[in-house]
Structure 1
Amino acid sequence: METFMNSVRQLGGISLYLTVVSGCTLFILIYGVRRLRSLQKRRVDFTRNMDVTEAIETDALDEDAEKITRSQATSGIKARFELIEKIYVPAILLVGLFLACIPFIPEIHATYISLVAGVLAVLVGIAGKPIVENMISGVAISISRPLRINDFVIIDDKYGTVENITLLYTVIKVWNWRRYVIPNHKLLQKEFINLSLQEEQEWAYVEFYVAPGEDIDLVKKLAKQAMQVKYLDSIEDPSFWVINMEKDAILCWVAGWAKDPAQAWALRSATRKNLSISFRENGISHQLSNLNIEKPPTPHNVHPS
């Protein structure tokens, strides 16, 4: 402490020190508040103009429901940033006040100050660790934006959309409309897939097996026709691949572009249905998983018993 006081006196005295501390505190306070409000405005503008989507195609949302969803998301963003600001402002002022008071407490040994600060830190850490962890993680998510409201995500093998982000937890609206609530500090430690981070277009594919004796050219034609549904994006025609040739089955893929993960879900479903119908009508033995497919006997190799 004595070394510190000597340094202060060398800089021109306590008045200069207080001026520097006050100026730095004021600058950090104003810059931080303006930055928070700018981020809040950008998030709110984005949310008000976003297209409300569900994890799967559904007609359950009408125009009023979409407005309510946007309103709830906007209110959540405002509440989150307002709470961050309410924490940020007094925290910066307290730090500035503490720094300003240091020259006036020379009689208190630095060891005692460190001891009291350490005890308070331990007590706060034990009592409020979950809340503090979640709040810090909530601030990190709000600023870094690894996910946003209405993003399509896959977390813990659950596919859905981000419905709300608070300072303490994040709500995922799963495809079956159940809510999956994750504390923010756990969310930051998880690996998850954000299907909307760069673009929402998805390369959707359906894999299936056919018997080795089937006509692959016919299979290719029928598979590509099966994917020609309303959910297919028109940027490119469906593609077909023979992925693997096993002893008792041939693994095939048919794939095409969808505009977003919800459309991709519907595209895969419609393609599977059309494949099943088309293959059955054309007598093609198939499975969506390899169950040792055997081509059914044709009349010329059926022998009477």
Structure 2
Amino acid sequence: MIGPLLGEAFFQSLAIFITGLAVTFIIVYLVNRALAKYFHRLAVRVPHLLTTYAFLRRLAVSIIALIGVMAATFTAFPEAQGAVASIFVAAGFTSIVIGLAAQSSLSNIISGMLVSLSQPFRIGDAIYFRNDFCFVEDVRLMHTVLRTWDNRRLVVPNSIFQSEVIINYSVEDPTMMVPVYVQVSYESDLEKAMQIMVDVARRHPDCLPAENIPNAVVMEFQDSGILLRLLSRAKDQPTAWRMARDLLLEIKKEFDRQGIEIPYPRRYLVAERELKEQMASLTSAIKELSEALKSAGGKAS
């Protein structure tokens, strides 16, 4: 009789536990949807708080899920409370080991909270991180997801950002200056070349005119030519990157049409064998000339 009773009690507890997990899942799902809609409405009015709202939503959902799982466990298996208490009391060393192992996870969570509050970057920002141009795609509890310019995903632990230098192209003013460097020959008309560069920039649809922008100036006298710099402005970093490539192509085309030379290194190479042959021929010719002069002098005397 005891065996069947124990089996029946166990399955009843298991059913209560599964029901508790199902209820927890439903509550987490509904709360997540409700918070997502609510924070989305708030983010429309205050866009710069989108990152904070996203982090708080995930934190709230995680806490609710943890409480739900613990409640389901202790309701279905009341004896688990005593077991857990005895484990915490008796397994001091194990707790220390677990605490050390969880230190990095806790550090990532705290760092995520700091990132969401101080906002060195926000969801959607364009940043430069470890030699990669990226967009911030999401800030989660443990890590941040970055999308690179070639559509790769970088999953970075949040604690990394506490000691990392990040260039943020979107904070405060997203507009970017677009420098383009072109070298022209010393024989070229500099005024004409600089005017061509400015005209090409003004015709570009993404160029944002400003005071004295776009402009072109002489930067440096180099070995092969004179370095010129065109400076214009774009609305953001991705546009600036594309615009720089477009300007280089159009400047090259316009220089070709108007006779402005872009110099390139020239090298004059003489083969060693040919040089020796030429020197031998020259030496032979000198000897023949010398003998001819001596012969002519002897006849004259």
What is the TM-score of this pair, normalised by structure 2?
Answer: 0.59
Work out whether residues 209 and 232 of structure 2, in 8 Å CA contact, stay in contact via their aligned partners in 1. Answer: no
The percentage of aligned residue pairs carrying the same residue is 22
Cα 1:43–1:125 shift into 2, 3 Å? farther
Work out whether residues 161 and 172 of structure 1, in 8 Å CA contact, stay in contact via their aligned partners in 2. Answer: yes
Answer yes or no: is 1:133 the counterpart of 2:107. Answer: yes
Q: How far 1:126 moved relative to its partner? A: 2.4
Cα 1:271–1:120 shift into 2, 3 Å? same
Q: How far 1:275 moved relative to its partner? A: 0.8
Task: Report the RMSD for the aligned CA atoms in angstroms.
Answer: 3.6
Answer yes or no: is 1:279 the counterpart of 2:255. Answer: yes
Work out whether residues 216 and 229 of structure 2, in 8 Å CA contact, stay in contact via their aligned partners in 1. Answer: yes
Q: How far 1:262 moved relative to its partner? A: 2.2
* Cross-structure match for 1:241: 217
Partners of 1:194 and 1:43 in 2: CA distance: 24
Secondary structure class of the residue paired with 2:101: helix
Task: Choose from 287, 292, 296 the match for 2:265.
Answer: 292
* Cross-structure match for 2:57: 82
Larger Rg belongs to: 2
Work out whether residues 84 and 139 of structure 1, in 8 Å CA contact, stay in contact via their aligned partners in 2. Answer: no
Listed as ranges, the gaps of 5+ residues in structure 1 are 1-39, 52-72, 90-115, 295-305
State the AA in 2 paired with 1:205. P
Which has more helix, going by share of residues? 2
What is the TM-score of this pair, normalised by structure 1?
Answer: 0.58
Work out whether residues 39 and 54 of structure 2, in 8 Å CA contact, stay in contact via their aligned partners in 1. Answer: no
Q: Deviations over 1:70-108 (max 9, x none)?
A: xxx96x86552134357889xxxxxxxxxxxxxxxxxxx
Secondary structure class of the residue paired with 2:173: coil
Partners of 1:187 and 1:255 in 2: CA distance: 32
Answer yes or no: is 1:164 the counterpart of 2:161. Answer: no
Work out whether residues 286 and 293 of structure 1, in 8 Å CA contact, stay in contact via their aligned partners in 2. Answer: no
Q: Deviations over 1:223-281 (max 9, x none)?
A: 11121200001334411111111232211110111111122122212111111111122
Work out whether residues 285 and 293 of structure 1, in 8 Å CA contact, stay in contact via their aligned partners in 2. Answer: no
Listed as ranges, the gaps of 5+ residues in structure 2 are 1-36, 65-89, 268-301
State the AA in 2 paired with 1:211. S
Cα 1:174–1:210 shift into 2, 3 Å? same
Work out whether residues 39 and 53 of structure 2, in 8 Å CA contact, stay in contact via their aligned partners in 1. Answer: no
